[in-house]
Chains A and B, each alone.
Chain A
Amino acid sequence: MTQTLLTLDNVCVKLGHGETAIQPVDRVSLAIQRGETYALLGESGCGKSMTALSILRLLPQPIGRITSGMIHLGDRDLTSLPESEMRRIRGRRISMIFQEPMTSLNPVLTIGQQIAEVLSQHHGMKGRVAQDRVLELLDAVGIPDTRRRFREYPHQLSGGMKQRVMISIALAGEPDLLIADEPTTALDVTIQAQVLELLQRLQQKTRMAILLITHDLGIVAGMADRVAVMYAGQIVEEASRDCFFGNARHPYSRKLFESLPEVHKREHALDTIKGTVPSLDRVFTGCRFVDRCDYAWDLCHSRIPDWNRAEKGHHARCHLLDQSLSVPASVAGVRSDSAIAAAHHSRGERLLQITDLKVHFPIHKGIFKRVAGYVYAVDGVTLSIPRGNTQALVGESGCGKTTVGKGILQLLRPTAGSVRFEDIELTTLKGSQLRKQRSNFQFIFQDPYSSMNPRMMVGDIVEEGMIAQGIGRNRQERRVRVEELFRKVGLSPEHAQRYPHEFSGGQRQRICIARALAVDPRLVICDEPTSALDVSVQAQILNLLKELQNTLGLSYLFITHNLSVVSYLADRVAVMYLGRIVEEGPVAGVLESPLHPYTRALLSAVPVIEADSAREIIRLEGDLPSPSNPPRGCHFHPRCPEAMDVCRTQYPGETRNDDHSVCCFLHQ
C-alpha cells in the first residue's frame, strides 16, 4: 500500500529582488510516498537544499520566497498556511537534519535539554515522562550509556554521536517525513556507514519517509527507492533506483557516472563535463545543460525540453527522449573520446624516504604551561616514494595523514625520525639551507578557497614562489612563465589579473596546482585536493594531475579518504590508523585483497553503486580513539571484530609479503 505523503507542484523559488535575483528552484515537481526514501541528487549549487528549505518554508529571509507552485502535505497546502500553523508542522510532521552536526546543536544546552525541548513543544511532555522518552530516543539512535549522555554537552560528543543526537531530535516529534540534507558529508566513511544504517533501521520501524539530499551516487544506490537528479534548479531526471542505475537517460546523469574515478578507468582520462553550471539569474530559452552536453543539437538551444517519459515511472527532461522529434543522425552516437593513455612508468629510483617519522604535539596545562602529555599525531611512519610514482595515504580524519605531509615538508618539525629527499636529510636543515630545498617539494591543499591570499591577484600568487626561489631573472621572464603555467593547467593567461574569489572551486584548485608547479617541484604532496569539489570537477582535476605526472614525471604523495580516487590514481597505497601505517602495498593488492581488518572495514564501508548482494559489510563500532591517549596494544583492537588476547597487550610488528606489508597478528 503506497500513499502520497508530500507533493511539490511546479514550485519556484526566488532569491533577491530586481535584476540580481536568482531562481535556484524552477518548476520543481515531485511526489514522496509514505515510507519511501526519495533521493535528490545533484552537485553543489543546483538548488537541492533550497528545495528542501522551501518545503519547510525556511528560505533565507528576507530575500528568499516561493513565487509560485504548491506544496501539499497530505491535503494541506503548506504555501498558504499561516506561520503559526507552520510551526506546528515543522518538527512534528516534517523534520530536518543538516549537514554539519558540529554547528546544528546549541553548545550551552545539554543533549537531554535539547531533545526535551522538542517533546514539550509538540507533545506537551514534561518532567519524568519527557526524560524517559529522551532516554528511549537516545537508545533508539544507538547511543550507549544514555543516562550519562543525557547530561552531557555537545562538545563532549564525537561527530558521529552528534549526528545521532540530531537524528534523535528530528525523531522526537515522530515526523512523517525526515529531510536529511547531506547527513553524512561531514563524517568519515566508517561513521557514515553507521549513520546510514541507523536511518534505514529507523525507517523500517517507524515507516517515515526520507527525503535524502546528497551528491554521492554511492549513498543513493544504497539508500534510495526513487531518485531525482537536479541540475541548475530543475529536476532533469526521475526514476526508480534500479531504472536509474541500470539505464540513466539524461546526458547529465550519464556524465555523472562516467566522471566517477574507478579502477577500470585507470588507463584513460576520466570523462568530464565541460564548462560550468550556468548562472541562474537569466531566462533560459533552451535546455539548461546544452552548453555542456555532448549530444546537443540546434533544437536544444532554441526549445526547452519537455518532461519526457522513458518508461513507466522514469522521466527525463531531454529532447533525446521525445518521440515526436527525429534526432539528427550526427548527434545520436557522439561520444567525446578524451582518453589519454597513462604512460606506464616503471618504478624509478627512490626519491623520498621517510623513516620512523614521529610528530608529537605537547599538551600544555596549568598556569605555568607544564607539558601534561602529548598528542601522538604521527607515531612512527616509514614510507618511501619512488620517482614518477603516486603513493596514496588513506585513513579517517584525525589519523594523522595531513600531519605526515606537513612533517615531510618541514612545515611541522618532526619530533623524531628522518626525512630523506634524495641524499639530503631534511629534518636537520635550517633557515636558508632548507629554503633552498623547498622548490623540490610542494603542497596542494584541501580547500582551494582558503589556500590563496584573498588580497593578491592570482598571477602574483603564482609568481611568489618563483621570486622566493629565484626562478626567472626578471619580472618579464617570470610573467611569461606564469602565462605558460596558466595554459598548462587549463586556464587563460588573462586570468592572472584577477583575484581568487572571482574563480570557481575547480579553477582555484587549478591555480593552486599552477602555483605548486611554478618552482619545478619533483614531489607534490596533495592533501585531499578534490574533497571540496563536485564529482565532475574532481574528474577534471584528477585528469590534470595524471597528465602532469606523465609529462613532467612528478611524484605524488596523495593524501585522501576517498578510496575510489586512490584506485584510479595511485600506484601504491598506505593505510593509516591513529598515527601509524597498518597496511602498505600496491593499489591492486591492498584494495582487492586487504589483509588488515581495518582496511577491510574501510573498504566495505564505502558506498558503492554496483549493488552486490554478496558483498559483506563490516560495520565498525565506535569512533577513532583520541591520539593523545591511544589504546594499549594494537591501536585498532577496541573496534576490531577479530581482536585476540595478544592484540590487547602488544603492538603487532610488520609482516612483509612481496611488497605488501601489514601490521596485524592475524598474519604473523
Chain B
Amino acid sequence: MMPVILWTDALIFLLAAVVIVFVIYARSKPHLRAPWYRVFTGRIAAGSVVVLLAFVVTGLLDSVHFRLRLENNGNHNANHYSGEVLSILDVLLGPIRTRVEKTYSAPFATHLFAKETIELDDGTKVRDYPRLHYGGQHLPDSGEGKWQDILQRSLLAISEALLASALILYATAALLGRRTARSAREMVLAIWRRETGLPWRTLLTITTLLLLLFFLVLNLASAFHVLGTDKVGQDVFYLTLKSIRTGLVIGTLTTLIMLPFAIFLGIVAGYARGWIDDVVQYIYTTLNSIPGVLLIAASILMLQVYIGNHPEYFETTVERADIRLLFLCIILGITSWTGLCRLLRGESLKLREAEYIQAAVSFGVAHGKIITRHILPNVMHVVLITVVLDFSGLVLAEAVLSYVGVGVDPTMNSWGNMINSARLEMAREPVVWWSLLSAFLFMFVLVLAANLFADAVRDAFDPRTRAR
C-alpha cells in the first residue's frame, strides 16, 4: 500500500489540526471556554454539531488516500501499484462501490428502470425490465417478498441501533457519573430529565437517529441500492457519500483562501483610510465588475490546457481532478473576498472612531496591536456569519459552475455534478428523481446544520446578545 497525499488532503488535515489546537487552547482559557460552553448548551446547536461531526468524519475518512499494491507476478522485485487511488471510505464502502449495475435503477429496485430486449435461455427475445445483477440478488426473480425482506432488515437495524445507543447512553452516564460521584442509574435519569449542564438528552437522541440511519444502511445497502443507481449503474448512495468531501473542501478551503485577503485588506482600508483605502476600494470595485464566472472559466480552461500539456506531473486521474478542485477553490476565493472585505472596511471605519480605540491610541498602543487586539476580535462575528453563509453559497456555486462545465472535474463526485446530470434525468419520462433528491437531501442537511450552528455561535460570542 502506498499513501497518496493530495494537495487538498494536506490542506484539510492542516485545517483540522488548527481546529484541534484551537480547541486545546480554548479549553485552558476561561474567557474562551465559557462562550463555547454556552454554544453547546443550546439544544439546537448541540444537535447540529452532532450532524456536522458525522459529515466531517465522513469527509476526513474520504481524505486519506492510498494506492493498493498489485499482486507481484514474481518476475521482478519492483512493487507495482494500482492506478486507482482509494480512500478509507472507499474501502469501508467496498461492496457498494464495486457492485455496478448496467444503468438506472430505482431505490430498492430488483429490476432495471427501463425495458430492454432480453434474450432468454431458449433463444427467444422478450422486451422486459432486466433483473439487476446485485440489487435484491437474494430474492426470487419476480421480486416477490421484497417489502417483507426490507421490513425484516429494518427491524433488525432498529434493534441494533437501539442496542448500540443504549450502550452509548450507559457509557456516557457512567463517565459523567464518575465525575459527579453519582451512579450510572441516577445519571441516566438526570439525562432524561434534562438536568445536565450540556443537553445530553438531545445529543444522544441525535446520535441515536444517526445510528439508526447507519444501521439501516448497513443492513439494507448490502442487499439493495438504497438510493438507486445512476446512468452507468453506480450506486447513488455511494456517490452522495463521496460528494461530501467535495462539498466540505469547496466550502472550507475557499474561505480559508479568501479570509486573509478579506480580513487584511478590509481592516487596513477601514483603519488607515486615505490613499490605502482608495487603493483597496479600487481593487475590489474593479474585481467586482468583472463577471466572476468568466474569470473562473478562463482560469479553469487555462489550467485544463496546462494539465493536458503536462501529463507527466499527474500520476493518476484522481490527482488531476484534485489539482483542478484546488484551483477552483483558489479562484473562487480570489473572486469572492470582495463582499466580506467591503463589510469589514465599513465595520472598521466605524470601530476606529469607537472610544476604546481612541483610548488605546491615547495609551500609545501601536497600530498593529490595535488592529489585532481591538478591531479584529470585534469584527470576528461578521467574519463568522459571512463564512457560514458563504459556505452554503459556495456549495451552490460549485453546482452552477459544474453546469457550465467549468466546475470540478467531471470524474470527481460532487453534488454539483449529480445535479448537473439530473438535468437530463428530470427530462426523461418517467422521471429519474433519486439522484437529484439524494444530492439535495445531503446538501440541505449539511447547510442547515451549519447555519443553525453558526447562529448559536454568533449568539454566544456577541456580547450584546449575551447581556440580555
Contact = CB atoms under 8 A, between A and B. Distances in A.
Interface of A: 406, 409, 411, 434-439, 441-443, 445-447, 450-457, 461, 464-465, 467-469, 497, 499-501, 512, 515, 519
Nearest to B369: A468
A82 to B, nearest CB: 31
Given A445-B355, A453-B374, A468 B463 contact: no
B356 interface: yes
Contact of B364 (A446, A468, A497): A468
A519 B363 CA distance: 8
Nearest to A497: B30
A406 B355 CA distance: 11
B359 A451 contact: yes
Please provide the 4 A-B residue pairs with the shortest distance between their CB atoms, ordered closest to farther.
Answer: A435-B364, A451-B355, A465-B363, A438-B364
Most buried by B among A437, A450, A451, A454: A454
A311 B373 CA distance: 60
B354 interface: yes
Contact of B373 (A441, A457, A464, A512): A464
B371 to A, nearest CB: 12
B364 A447 contact: no
A500 B463 CA distance: 9
Contacts of B360: 464, 468
Chain B, interface residues (CB within 8 Å), range: 20 to 34
Given A450-B355, A453-B356, A501 B467 contact: yes
Contacts of B359: 443, 445, 451-452, 512, 515
Contacts of A461: 356
A168 to B, nearest CB: 34
A461 B359 CA distance: 10
Contacts of A411: 358, 361-362
Contacts of A469: 363-364
A434 B30 CA distance: 36
Contact of B463 (A443, A447, A454): A454
Given A453-B374, A454-B378, A457-B31, A468 B356 contact: no
8 contacts: A411-B358, A434-B364, A446-B355, A447-B355, A453-B377, A454-B464, A468-B364, A497-B31
B365 interface: yes
B378 A453 contact: yes
A207 to B, nearest CB: 42
B466 A501 contact: yes
Nearest to B375: A453
Contacts, number: 79
Contacts of B354: 450
A464 B363 contact: yes
Contact of B356 (A436, A439, A450): A450
B358 A456 contact: no
Interface in B320-362: 354-356, 358-362
A148 B467 CA distance: 45
A602 B447 CA distance: 61
Contacts of A455: 377-378, 463
Contacts of B31: 457, 497, 499
A405 to B, nearest CB: 10
B364 A456 contact: no
A303 B57 CA distance: 62
B431 interface: no
A453 B360 CA distance: 10
Contact of B362 (A442, A447, A467): A442
Contacts of A453: 356, 373-374, 377-378
Nearest to B462: A454
A445 B359 CA distance: 8
B120 interface: no
B354 to A, nearest CB: 6
B366 to A, nearest CB: 7
Contacts of B363: 438-439, 442, 464-465, 468-469, 519
B177 to A, nearest CB: 27
Contacts of A442: 362-363
A468 B378 contact: no
Contacts of A512: 359
Nearest to B351: A453
A197 to B, nearest CB: 35
A459 to B, nearest CB: 10
Contacts of B358: 406, 411, 443, 445, 451
A436 B365 CA distance: 10
A438 B362 contact: yes
B467 A443 contact: no
B271 to A, nearest CB: 15
A18 to B, nearest CB: 15
Nearest to A436: B364
A617 B315 CA distance: 94
Given A455-B463, A457-B31, A501-B467, A468 B377 contact: no
A443 B358 CA distance: 9
Contacts of B365: 464-465, 467-468
B463 A451 contact: no
A445 B356 CA distance: 9
A62 to B, nearest CB: 15
B457 to A, nearest CB: 14
B384 to A, nearest CB: 13
Nearest to B355: A451
A409 B359 CA distance: 10
Most buried by A among B354, B362, B377, B467: B362
Contacts of A439: 363-364
A442 B361 CA distance: 10
A460 to B, nearest CB: 9
A400 B30 CA distance: 43
A607 to B, nearest CB: 29
